[in-house]
A and B are shown apart, each in its own frame.
Chain A
Amino acid sequence: MHKANALLEKQLIWTFYLILAVIIYFMLQNSISEKSFFEEYLVKEIGLTIDTLYSSPGDIQLEFYYLRDVNLIVKKNNLEVKYLTKSFPKIYPLTTDKNYDELNEELRFNNATLKITRNNNKLIFESYENE
């Protein structure tokens, strides 16, 4: 009886270790994958661009080409970028200007271009499909 319990315990421990190893593998893969790297890069690039547009002394228009499978949300003071296959977005805290209209945009890119326009204290986000 005691031997049987010990065996069961060992089996449970090994199952636990196995599950843990799988979780760690996926966590690491998730954080160091190419997609994650690009997501991090993109959120900072677009975030810094928006912060720059607030500083612009005149009207300006910028375009980001060929965004694929990306979801972009600009809400309140945050910019969120997320690959459609991933669960959690990367977040960039924006430094906004209250003289501008409040940002509230949600865009989805399959194979599209993001166009950001600064026009008289207004930031306009648009997406159009690439040909």
Chain B
Amino acid sequence: MNKKSQFDTTKELLLWIPRIILIVIVVGTVFYIVTIPIRKNFEINELHQNILRQRFVYSENCMAYKENKIYPGIVDIKKFEKENLEKCFQSNKIGVTLNLMNNTLKTIKINEKIAEKDIFCIDKKHFSCTNYTYYVLIKNEIIEPGLLNIHMVKTK
């Protein structure tokens, strides 16, 4: 192999680098465009968070008051503890801020690292957030009305 042909081969090899990059970009774009309708059809973030949110109010392991039977919608103040709520809600992708209000305001954060990222909720591509307030009854010494605000931050 003479010097000229060696140079040609090297040049050709170097030309392959941008070609391969371009091919990867084109393939990626085509794949992304074709799969857009499929991904859109299966967007379940809001439904998912709606279902998970109800766990706090309906499940006896979370906050629902129990005496002989379970009373969904009545919050047992003794169960409104960080340790208990972290046990009944195990997720690596969702952070939750719970605010329980009657005369005083109590706040608990589950998965604090994600829950505190709520300022990024404007980034719809990477985060999905919901905020909902329930009218609840709070069982302390007596049963009194109150509000339970649940703010969820989910990383996509």
Contacts and interface: CB of A to CB of B under 8 A. Distances in A.
A57 B38 contact: no
Contacts of A99: 61, 87-88
B31 interface: yes
A77 B90 contact: yes
Contacts of A2: 5, 8
Interface stretch (B42-50, B113-121, B131-139, B141-149): B42-50
A98 B31 contact: no
A48 interface: yes
A96 B72 CA distance: 19
A57 B60 contact: yes
A59 to B, nearest CB: 11
Contacts, number: 83
A32 B60 contact: no
Tell me the interface secondary structure of chain A in the complex.
helix
Nearest to B55: A55
B10 interface: no
A85 B34 CA distance: 22
A56 B59 contact: yes
Given A32-B38, A51-B51, A77-B92, A97 B5 contact: no
Contacts of A37: 38
Contact of B88 (A24, A57, A98): A98
Contacts of B92: 77, 93
Contacts of A32: 34-35, 38
Interface of A: 1-2, 5, 9, 20, 24, 27-28, 31-32, 36-37, 40-41, 44, 48, 51-52, 54-58, 77, 93, 95-99, 121
